[in-house]
Structure 1
Amino acid sequence: MKIIDKYILKRYLVTFIVMLLMFIPIGIIIDVSEKINKILANKVPFVEVAKYYLDFTIYFANLLFPIFLFLSVIWFTSKLANNTEIIAILSSGISFTRFLRPYLIGATMVSVFALVMNVFLMPSAAAGFKSFRYKYLNNNSASVKDDSNVFRQISKDEYIYVSSFNDVSKMAFNFSMEKFEGDKLKYKLSASRIKFNPKDSTYTIFNYTKRKVGILNDIIEKGEKKDTVFTFDLDDLTPVVYIAETLPLNELNKFIEKERERGSSNINTYLVVLYKKYSIPVSAFILTIIAVSVSSMKRRGGMGMNLAIGIILAFGFVFLDKVFGVLAEASTAPPLLAVWTPNILFGVLAIFLLRNAKR
């Protein structure tokens, strides 16, 4: 590696780290100012608060990773341009593509770090961050669960449905369970309510009707109340809405497959979490190329103009990322395409800007 590569790579990594160290404390201070009243009112132990802000640091850094990287590259590249260092480098016979090499090496290092953080650190950090907020800061604990219109396939030929589920009372409403043999219905159980009894893992069904389909006649059983045993667990059937963010990669893949078989209505949400683990590291390359292309030329407005352009593009990337993420979760849009669309659009922009910068 030549001296120029070491010089640019060092500036790349140091500026990115400094940017993180500058903005993370600011984010913590803002969060503390917003949450301090609830933390004091709920008498949260100091250890819990300290662990929360450790998780917050990892979660916050990962969330705003594209912005930090983009602004740091624009910042130090603009300084190189204003000091006419880039002109001197290119005038010495080095091509713009060769000048870009240490940036791509830096982007590779940052991408690997982001991938490792997404796979190994983010799940536990997200679990601590989310659970703390719902436990101490959010009074509406019911919103933690995916608890309305729950439809699941619990085995190869058994399906259940409940219109709503109360996590506090462990009671579900408008329950129905159907068992098939091939494409033929064998029996159907309906009940106005079903309550899970944690002590002995049994269930109590109320105002139930069980219809067993026979060859000539159906057998119908009715009753007001009955204790019984099922093979499913209502807690498993109504996972917390952020469960995918808290699972390691191998467990996340298994969880998604299990939820797909159950016919979960939140399957797109889980797939978005999975695909973003890979799309965010790739964005490091795209944003690095855009940042260098935008800030490598000396402008009349100086660094201020480059930073203004950079901030607009960075927030445009984050905006598209959020919009397409929500679109995938709330519609029939393919999650893979939705997650990668911002990278595709900004990848095209990166190629266009790079060609102009070379000229």
Structure 2
Amino acid sequence: MKILDWYILKRYLITFLMMLLLFVPIGITVDLAEKVGRMIENEASLGEVAFYYINFTVYFANLLFPLFLFLSVIWFTSKLANNTEIVAFLSSGTSFSRFLRPYMIGATIVAGFAMFLGMYLAPIASQGFNEFKFKYLKKNKNVQQTRDVYQQINDNDYIYVSNFITRNKTGHKFTYEHFEGNELKYKIFADNIRYIEEDSMYRLTSYLKRSFENGIETVEQENRKLMDLPFELEDLTPVQYAAETKSYGELLKFIAAEKRRGSPNIGRYEVVKLKKWSLPVSIFILTIIAVAVSSIKRRGGMGVNLALGISIAMIYVFFDKVFGVMAEQSNFPAVIAVWFPNVLFGILAVYLLQKAKR
């Protein structure tokens, strides 16, 4: 590797690390200022708070990796342009593609780390981050409610509850179906279902059971009935951030199991899975855009390049969030939602790169 490559690569990596070291403490300070009252009110220990902010750093660094990198590349490339160093490089006979090579090497290093972070470290941090937030920071942490939960418990059993409130472990409009093959053997209805912790059983109110055997239907009905049902309390309260807490291998198995069970959160889980691949790719795309935008010396100096870069970054975030929410909340294909911003900005990167070469 020549001196030029080392010079640019060193600046690429150092500026990126400096950007992280600059913004992470600011993010922690702002978050602490906003939430310290609730932490004190809910008696969070100093050790738990410290561990929360370690997880906070990893969690948000993983989410904002491409944007930090994008701004850092614009920053140091604009300095190169203002100091006329890029003109000197290109005047020596170096092509723009050759000038771009150390940027791509740096992007490969950062993308590899981002992939490792997203697949293995970020899930651990997400678990601790979300558990602390739910335990100490939620205003109504004891009133978490899930709606329209439909789950396949195993090959033969299905459950449905219109809503479930964690505070009193009570659900409404409960249905339990048991099949053998394609034949429905019995179906249980209840206006309410409540988990009795001391008995590890469920109490059903307005209980009704319809059984089917050899074409004959029998009906059993009681005002209240205590039952040992073959599912866990967590099946009635699916955690929406569950996918974020699993490594990639665990996530694939988790999604397959949730699809069999008919989980309503499949869109969200698919978005989490696909972003583990799309985020490293976005690092290359945003690096090319940043170099193409900031390698030109402008009359307004570095400020113009930074303003243009921040505008592009905000548009990227807008598309990423909007399409992500669409996939999570509807039947919009997750693969399109996750990859559309990269495809769109990939086209923009090719256009700006060709323009910069000319």
The reply on whether 1:102 has 2:135 as its aligned counterpart is no
Looking at structure 1, the residues matched to 160 and 131 of structure 2 have their Cα atoms a distance apart, in angstroms, of: 27
| C-alpha deviation, 1:203, in angstroms | 2.1
The reply on whether 1:128 has 2:124 as its aligned counterpart is no
CA contact (8 A) 2:144 2:167 kept: no
Which sits farther off after the overlay, 35-44 or 259-268? 35-44
Task: Quote the residue 1:117 is aligned against.
Answer: 117
Q: State the aligned residue count.
A: 358
Looking at structure 1, the residues matched to 172 and 236 of structure 2 have their Cα atoms a distance apart, in angstroms, of: 14
Q: Secondary structure at the match of 2:205?
A: strand
Looking at structure 2, the residues matched to 207 and 342 of structure 1 have their Cα atoms a distance apart, in angstroms, of: 51
Query: What does 1:84-103 correspond to in 2, within 5 Å?
Result: 84-103=84-103
Looking at structure 2, the residues matched to 142 and 319 of structure 1 have their Cα atoms a distance apart, in angstroms, of: 32
Query: What does 1:281-300 correspond to in 2, within 5 Å?
Result: 281-300=280-299
Q: Extract unaligned runs of 5+ from structure 2.
A: none
The reply on whether 1:313 has 2:307 as its aligned counterpart is no
Q: Secondary structure at the match of 2:179?
A: strand
Task: Quote the residue 1:276 is aligned against.
Answer: 275
CA contact (8 A) 1:174 1:190 kept: yes
The reply on whether 1:80 has 2:86 as its aligned counterpart is no
Looking at structure 1, the residues matched to 151 and 56 of structure 2 have their Cα atoms a distance apart, in angstroms, of: 33
Q: Which amino acid aligns with 1:21?
A: L
Task: Quote the residue 1:153 is aligned against.
Answer: 152
Looking at structure 2, the residues matched to 326 and 137 of structure 1 have their Cα atoms a distance apart, in angstroms, of: 23
Measured on the aligned residues, the alpha-carbon RMSD in Å equals 1.4
Query: What does 1:227-266 correspond to in 2, within 5 Å?
Result: 227-266=226-265
Task: Quote the residue 1:164 is aligned against.
Answer: 163
CA contact (8 A) 1:59 1:126 kept: yes
Q: Relative to structure 1, is the Cα distance of residues 143 and 294 closer, same or farther in structure 2, using a 3 angstrom cutoff?
A: farther
Question: TM-score, normalising length from structure 1?
Answer: 0.96
Q: Secondary structure at the match of 1:163?
A: strand
| C-alpha deviation, 1:156, in angstroms | 1.7
Q: Which amino acid aligns with 1:267?
A: I
Looking at structure 2, the residues matched to 41 and 229 of structure 1 have their Cα atoms a distance apart, in angstroms, of: 38
CA contact (8 A) 2:44 2:136 kept: yes
Q: Secondary structure at the match of 2:263?
A: coil
CA contact (8 A) 2:96 2:357 kept: yes
Question: TM-score, normalising length from structure 2?
Answer: 0.96
Task: Quote the residue 2:140 is aligned against.
Answer: 140
| C-alpha deviation, 1:141, in angstroms | 2.0
Query: What does 1:197-212 correspond to in 2, within 5 Å?
Result: 197-212=196-211
Q: Relative to structure 1, is the Cα distance of residues 305 and 143 closer, same or farther in structure 2, using a 3 angstrom cutoff?
A: farther
Q: Deviations over 1:7-66 (max 9, x none)?
A: 000000000000111111111111111112222222221101111111111112122212
CA contact (8 A) 2:160 2:174 kept: yes
Looking at structure 2, the residues matched to 340 and 139 of structure 1 have their Cα atoms a distance apart, in angstroms, of: 35
| C-alpha deviation, 1:200, in angstroms | 4.0
CA contact (8 A) 2:209 2:219 kept: yes
Looking at structure 1, the residues matched to 140 and 246 of structure 2 have their Cα atoms a distance apart, in angstroms, of: 23
Q: Secondary structure at the match of 2:154?
A: coil
Looking at structure 2, the residues matched to 84 and 171 of structure 1 have their Cα atoms a distance apart, in angstroms, of: 69
